[in-house]
Amino acid sequence: MKNMEPQDITLTVNGRNHEIKVVPRRLLVDALREDLRLTGTHVGCEHGVCGACTVLVDGRPQRACLTYAIQMEGHEVATIESVDHEGRLSVLQQALHEEHGLQCWFCTPGIVMTFEAFLRQNPAPDEEAIREALSGNLCRCTGYQNIVKAIQKAAARMRPEQI
Amino acid sequence: MSQAEFHYIGQHMPRKEDYRLLTGRGRYVDDVEVPGALHVCFVRSPHAHARIRGIDATAARGMPGVVAVFTGADLARWTTRLRMAPPIEGLQPMEMDALPIDKVRFQGDPVACVVAGDRYLAEDAAEQVQVDYEPLPVVSSMWQALQADAPRVDETLPSNLLSHQQAVFGDPQARAQAAHRVVQSTFSMHRQTHLPIETRGCAAIWDAGREHLTFHVGNQVPHPYRTTLAGRLRLSESQVTVVSQDVGGGFGQKIALYREELVVAALARELKQPVRWREDRLENLLASSQAREDFCRTRAAVDAEGRLLSLELEIVEDFGAYSFYPGNYLARVVAMILTGPYKVQDYSYDVKVVLSNKVGNGPMRAPMAITSWLMDGTLDAVARELQLDPLAVRRLNMLHPQDLPYRMATGEVLEDITPRETLEGAVAAIDYADFRRRQQEALTQGRYLGLGICTVVESTTYGSRFYKAAGIPGSGHEAAWVRIEPTGVVNASAGLGPTGQGYETSLSHAVAEGLGVPMSQVRIHLGHTDIAPYGMGSRGARGGTAGGGTLYLCAGEAQAKVLAIARHHLGLDSPAVLRLREARVERQSEGVWLPTGLSLVDIARKAYLDPTSLPEGMSPGLDFHKTYDPPPMTYSNSTHVCEVEVDAATGAVRFGRYVVAEDCGTVLSPVVVEGQQLGAIAMGLSGTLYEHVEYDDNGQNLSGTLADYLVATAHELPHIEILSMHTPNRSTPAGIKGMAEGGVMGAIGALCNAVNDALRPLGVVADRQPLTPMYLRGLIRQAQHS
């Protein structure tokens, strides 16, 4: 079967190009985790419901378990490993730490990636809007309350000072 | 000692483990790099109950990348059977192979294992394994299981009744005969599953030269797990290392040695090559441990004021097809602690546990989840029948402080609990009287508001003496070590198996307090059986008292030696009062603590590098080990109050306020405890409203994806208001009680009671979960038609 043959692709992840060989059916999340050894992106359900594998594709959140690696040629993928800078947590990560917005953290990479993008689009979200957006990510540990608080805190810190 | 007297315990400190986790540098099982590892995929039964007539793996073996295909007959040569046969009256012994050989017992039962170069190829080949099944009649419900002519799930047993226990305390029937009224209520809790966001998985590395197995797995009880794994592989415990680093949630699902894990370990040894497996979500929903599914009936004999005179309980639990735990393990605890915060001495229980063609049950946060709904739901039924106020009935029956310590009818002793304080605190916070006014007002507009109250007495730490008394095999002790290294930094460990709770933080509080060093100087090492001491792991809510308590005691012994060295060095022969605080030795003088100029670093250097300067007879080094067996049982308590509105047109439930007042004693880390409270309540609410492992009459699992097994998202859950109370337990180190499961218990009870309070004007009662709109709308329709 020709379409099962491995193909050479270039994956652009966190600003770096990676030349890898993948079969066309290889999932983006497997390519990230196993071929690139970027294991911060987690696999929770492999059917697009739980949101743990969410990465940014050209700045927009996308399920890496419902995406083939081969589809990503010519696109920019960003994973959790790109969010902190030289050991400094992002504003959102810092707020999650301060508000105890994570426990086992298996779901958190997906939440961080979703809201890094969300907060850029929605600088002043109310609780309802945050909860609505967060409903695409399942968390079994926290009851979500502290995640919501952390996102509110991050939003407030990221807004430009009111004059 | 009250919370205020601690220096480190109870401080509000953010978690220590967050940095590596937040930056994507955690290390979960599937993140562990294992060069050359083969991948397995299990072939699973499509039938709920069928004879295996033959397995043909010829086609699969010839597929690209396939190394081998193994069946139950192969595994039987390399492993021993699991025999679950503790000497408990009324409990049938059960046995289980590594993989079934003669028949499958539930849809999803693994029958063969394909080994290939990667997971994609293994999955391809699994589809080509041909299994010849002869379908058998299916046991799909507990009622069917109990019928005399029911098919037998385990043909070696006389019936499907796996476990049956009864006990009578006092004379409940006589009390019932003389009572003003006997109120009978029923409660059904549906089958659910733990759903950790990280599924199961493992990686096995066999070192053929050293004859040693390194087994990576996410597990809550690494040492007992190692004992079982070594035994079933016919290895000694010194030949197996279990490594469980970061774990993406457990909730009880990651305790037992599963058959898939045993197979992976056995194959690594047989193939002399590393083997790994990652469970996918469909497998997790089809074949990982499930929980709950009970039917309960209570008969409460009461006087005209609603005072409980006696209580009778019946439980039937559907345990599924296999015994990974003794059959009485879960339901028996419900029966033993049912009466909780209420005063009643004439009591009986009858607990039946049956086998069915479903996944085998295990403990799920909280194994005794139904308890508080049963008890407070029974009091609500009394209030309804006698036209009384539900709060008044609770106040009438609840234990007073002067009743403590209180020996429950079953012999369990409650002490240092405060149910009246949490009840009054929670109803005051929600303004009960005002709610009743708003409820009346809403009713005039055709709106159905309800308020539910549920008071929980949560059994948290199970000591060895409890297990012995309950006829459950096992120990409740825990082990810890604390090592002050030559540079004065502190390493410490305990036998707990972390699954995301934040132990590195909460246990640091315990060590810091016991020793007198800043938390930042303490590093906690968990989840590696060669590093951690043999402990009983994480189950129930034992982490705080058993794990934190043992570490606190061990660190206290470390401080005593440090201070003995300091006293010697300072030339103090009198019992001068010294303490270690912020890693510096301080001396009390006229009620004031003064520096001595000595630090922990100075003492550590002497202990390791200058042992001749130590007091006569003292051994070098600062290396401490401690085991500790907690009291038979510790209890925390809480009261949950939940407001809801039931939409009569659709049956939908909307939350109003949710308040919980919880007294869980001394709190190591308020951050971690708050997280446990919120998470437990969310799990209880989600389970009550949505989550349902559903099997049809043929034993087909109808909830095999996350589109079918619904879990509450951020959008459905209410904001939770917490009132914290801290009455220490006087029998435990630092007064720790433990917590983490009571939130599930209270949420289930408060929500169900609230919905029934809303339905009260309609004269219908929801006595089973989940409280789906379809179910509630059906009840409302029935009320409107009658």
HEC assignment per residue over B49-97: CEEEEEEECHHHHCCCCEEEEEEHHHHHHHCCCEEECCCCCCECCEEEC
CA nearest to B59, candidates B112, B120, B118, B126: B126
> Mean per-residue pLDDT for A135-158?
97
Rounded Cα gap, residues B208 and B110, in angstroms: 28
> Mean per-residue pLDDT for B317-340?
94
CA nearest to B419, candidates B434, B404, B407: B404
Residue scoring higher pLDDT (B548 or B590): B548
Residues of A in contact with B281 (CB under 8 A): 44-47, 50
> Mean per-residue pLDDT for B366-393?
97
**3 state DSSP class of B671:** helix
Distances, alpha carbon B442 to alpha carbons B38, B449, B623, B641, in Å: 64, 7, 66, 19
Structural domains of chain A in order of their starting residue, each with its CATH number: 2-82 (3.10.20.30), 91-158 (1.10.150.120)
> Mean per-residue pLDDT for B457-480?
89
Burial of A103 (0-12, 13-18, 19+ CB in 10 A): buried
**Choosing among B11, B21, B193, B689, which should be mutated to test the A contact, i.e. which has the most A CBs within 10 A?**
B21
Rounded Cα gap, residues B699 and B710, in angstroms: 20
Interface of B with A in 702-761 (CB under 8 A): 705-707, 711, 713-717, 719-720
At A130, the pLDDT band (50, 70, 90 cuts) reads: very high
> Mean per-residue pLDDT for B27-48?
97
pLDDT of amino acid B129? 98
pLDDT of amino acid B764? 97
Residues of B in contact with A104 (CB under 8 A): 196-198, 246-249, 499-501
- Cβ-contact B509, B11 below 8 angstroms: yes
Q: Does B23 touch chain A (CB under 8 A)?
A: yes
**Sign, Cα dihedral of B759, B765, B767, B770:** negative
pLDDT of amino acid B471? 73
DSSP assignment of B747-765, as one string?
A: HHHHHHHHHHHHHGGGT--
A153 min Cα distance to partner chain B (Å): 15
Does the distance separating the beta carbons of A112 and B682 come in below 8 Å? no
At B3, the pLDDT band (50, 70, 90 cuts) reads: low
DSSP assignment of B618-668, as one string?
A: PPSS-EEEEEE---SEEEEEEEEEEEEEE-TTT--EEEEEEEEEEE-BB-S
Output the average pLDDT for chain B.
96
CA nearest to B9, candidates B462, B377, B506, B473: B506
- Per-residue model confidence as pLDDT tens digits over B100-138: 999 999 999 999 999 999 999 999 999 999 999 999 999
Where are the strands (E) in A23-102, listed by range? Answer: 54-57, 60-63, 76-78
Does the distance separating the beta carbons of A102 and B714 come in below 8 Å? no
Does the distance separating the beta carbons of B21 and A102 come in below 8 Å? yes
Residues of A in contact with B21 (CB under 8 A): 102, 105, 108
* Percent of chain B scoring above 90 in pLDDT: 95
Structural domains of chain B in order of their starting residue, each with its CATH number: 3-25+477-628 (3.30.365.10), 32-136+199-247+254-287 (3.90.1170.50), 368-460+633-785 (3.30.365.10)
- Per-residue model confidence as pLDDT tens digits over B206-217: 999 999 999 999
At B468, the pLDDT band (50, 70, 90 cuts) reads: confident
Token pair 């539930």 is found at B106
Residues of B in contact with A139 (CB under 8 A): 197, 714
Does the distance separating the beta carbons of A142 and B24 come in below 8 Å? no
**Sheet containing strand B653-663, strands side by side:** B448-462, B633-646, B653-663, B720-725
Label residues B399-416 b or e (16+ Cβ within 10 Å = b).
beeeeeebebbbebebeb
Residues of A in contact with B672 (CB under 8 A): 100
ipTM of the complex: 0.96
Note if the bond before B770 is cis, omega within 30 degrees.
yes
- Cβ-contact A45, B278 below 8 angstroms: no
Does the distance separating the beta carbons of B675 and A103 come in below 8 Å? yes
Q: At A154, which amino acid appears? A: A
Of B22, B197, B672, the CB nearest to A107: B197
> Mean per-residue pLDDT for A30-39?
97
A30 min Cα distance to partner chain B (Å): 10
Does the distance separating the beta carbons of A139 and B23 come in below 8 Å? no
- Per-residue model confidence as pLDDT tens digits over B734-778: 999 999 999 999 999 999 999 999 999 999 999 999 999 999 999
pLDDT of amino acid B2? 54
Q: Please, which residues bridge with residue B555 across strands?
A: none
B250 min Cα distance to partner chain A (Å): 9
> Mean per-residue pLDDT for B448-470?
93
pTM of the model: 0.97
Q: Does B774 touch chain A (CB under 8 A)?
A: no
- Per-residue model confidence as pLDDT tens digits over B711-745: 999 999 999 999 999 999 999 999 999 999 999 99
- Per-residue model confidence as pLDDT tens digits over B220-235: 999 999 999 999 999 9
Does the distance separating the beta carbons of B23 and A40 come in below 8 Å? yes
